[in-house]
């Protein structure tokens, strides 16, 4: 069921929802959270599709604010989706014009589920400090996506400076499978000394940078990123150890090959994860992601990650100032032609 409402208010929307539930027998029992999506005009449907998928695992009320031009006459249009058009959720799409193009707590407060956690998600660009924005300040979790921002590397640096427990980024979520599989392989290999870490992919992207920082942080070794057009996003990680090379190589989209010293190659299932799968994973966690916090807050300025194109070290020296790191991240972004994360978009590939 889809109902259109023009030039309306939040109070009228809530009243209409109650009426539709009463008439159609639709109830909201079992809703576990409110997901607030802060989208841009023309880019909201892929986010709604991902949220509908995630709602089957996490029944919720989805509030989508679509920002239109601030120069238009101030008004609020709404679209209500219930039943089969809303997955296991209720979807309220708010189109804000003029003064209402800015999403605020006042605008959505009447539509929030009482006594339920709030998750805020910015599918593209996000505020300078998500935790201090009007919606972010009332959210238990704040999900950004630096890979889809206008300037991915500057956005990642910005997140590092403004990190608050409860923040997370889908560029980090996209490498979950890579982290899990690599940890499992190292458990099998046993104690080794990692001398160097090599990542290979089509372009340096936020997910690759975060992966490299995490590896350098955990293993205490330098990370080198090799990128060229012969690769498809992140497709290979190799650990050069004192006992030989440990490697995971995913040349396609579903199967990876694991190589380790003294063992035959092994194939494992490691499918590319899309946007809806990544969102569903993040909604499982309503507390802070402590590992992400360590990587984005501390590791980004303390690990040594170099690219083959530019010898860029992130925090190789203990006294490297934060503004210098920001400048080097910007230089790296220009060196790779503002490399974007091609995976994880609705129709793209993901680096896991």
Neighbours of 321 (CB within 10 A): 11
Find the mean pLDDT for residues 100-125: 94
pLDDT band at 250 (very low <50, low <70, confident <90, very high): very high
- Binned at pLDDT 50, 70 and 90, residue 317 comes out as very low
Give CA separation, 23 vs 20, 160, 210, 272, 299, in Å.
5, 48, 49, 42, 54
Would you state the pLDDT for residue 43?
A: 81
Q: How do 222-227 and 167-169 pair as beta strands?
A: unpaired
Q: Are 61 and 92 in contact (CB under 8 A)?
A: yes
Buried-state track 204-234, b at ≥16 Cβ within 10 A, e below 16:
bbbbbbbbbbbbbbbbebbbbbbbeeeebbb
Q: Which two tokens stand for residue 192?
A: 């080794």
Q: What is the pLDDT of residue 26?
A: 53
Give the integer Cα–Cα distance in Å for 249 and 243.
19
Question: Does residue 6 surpass a pLDDT of 60?
Answer: yes
Beta strands, E only, 139-207:
141-144, 167-169, 194-201
Residue spans of beta strands (DSSP E) within 6-161: 33-40, 60-67, 75-81, 89-97, 118-121, 141-144
- Burial (CB count <10 Å: 0-12, 13-18, 19+), residue 284: exposed
Is-above-0.85 flag for pTM? no
Residue appearing with tokens 């193009």: 101
pLDDT tens-digit profile of 254-264?
Answer: 999 999 998 99
Average predicted confidence (pLDDT) for the chain: 83
pLDDT of residue 84: 67
- Report pLDDT for 327: 43
Band (325; pLDDT cuts 50, 70, 90):
very low
Using DSSP's 3-state secondary structure scheme, residue 284 falls into coil
Query: Alpha carbon of 160 to those of 224, 286, 296: distances in Å?
Result: 21, 20, 5
Calpha distance 38→138 (Å, rounded): 14
Q: Which pLDDT score, from 0 to 100, does residue 308 have?
A: 53
């Amino acid at each position: 069921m889809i109902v259109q409402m023009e030039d309306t208010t939040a109070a009228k929307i809530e009243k209409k929802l109650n009426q539709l539930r009463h008439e159609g027998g639709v109830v909201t029992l079992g809703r576990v959270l409110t997901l607030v999506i802060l989208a841009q005009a023309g880019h909201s449907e892929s986010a709604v599709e991902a949220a509908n998928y995630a709602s089957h695992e996490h029944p919720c009320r989805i509030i989508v604010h679509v920002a239109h031009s601030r120069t238009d006459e101030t008004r609020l249009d709404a679209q209500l989706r219930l039943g089969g058009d809303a997955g296991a959720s209720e979807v309220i799409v708010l189109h804000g014009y003029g003064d209402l193009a800015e999403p605020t707590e006042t605008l959505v407060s009447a539509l929030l589920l009482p006594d339920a956690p709030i998750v805020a998600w910015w599918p593209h660009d996000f505020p300078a400090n998500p935790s201090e924005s009007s919606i972010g300040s009332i959210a238990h979790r704040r999900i950004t996506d630096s890979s889809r921002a206008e300037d991915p590397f500057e956005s990642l640096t910005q997140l590092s400076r403004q990190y608050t427990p409860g923040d997370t980024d889908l560029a980090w979520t996209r490498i979950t499978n890579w982290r899990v599989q690599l940890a499992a392989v190292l458990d099998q290999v046993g104690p080794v000394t990692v001398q160097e870490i090599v990542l290979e992919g089509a372009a340096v992207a936020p997910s690759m940078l975060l992966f490299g920082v995490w590896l350098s942080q955990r293993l205490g070794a330098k990370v080198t990123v090799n990128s060229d057009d012969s690769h498809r996003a992140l497709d290979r990680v190799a650990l050069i150890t004192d006992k030989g090379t440990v490697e995971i190589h995913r040349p396609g989209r579903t199967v990876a090959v694991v190589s380790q010293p003294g063992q035959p190659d092994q194939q494992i299932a490691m499918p590319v994860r899309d946007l809806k799968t990544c969102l569903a994973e993040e909604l499982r966690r309503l507390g802070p992601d402590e590992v992400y916090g360590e990587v984005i807050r501390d590791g980004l300025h303390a690990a040594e990650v170099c690219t083959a194109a530019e010898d860029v070290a992130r925090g190789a020296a203990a006294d490297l100032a934060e503004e210098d790191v920001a400048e080097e991240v910007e230089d790296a972004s220009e060196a790779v032609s503002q490399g974007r994360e091609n995976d994880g978009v609705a129709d793209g590939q993901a680096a896991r």
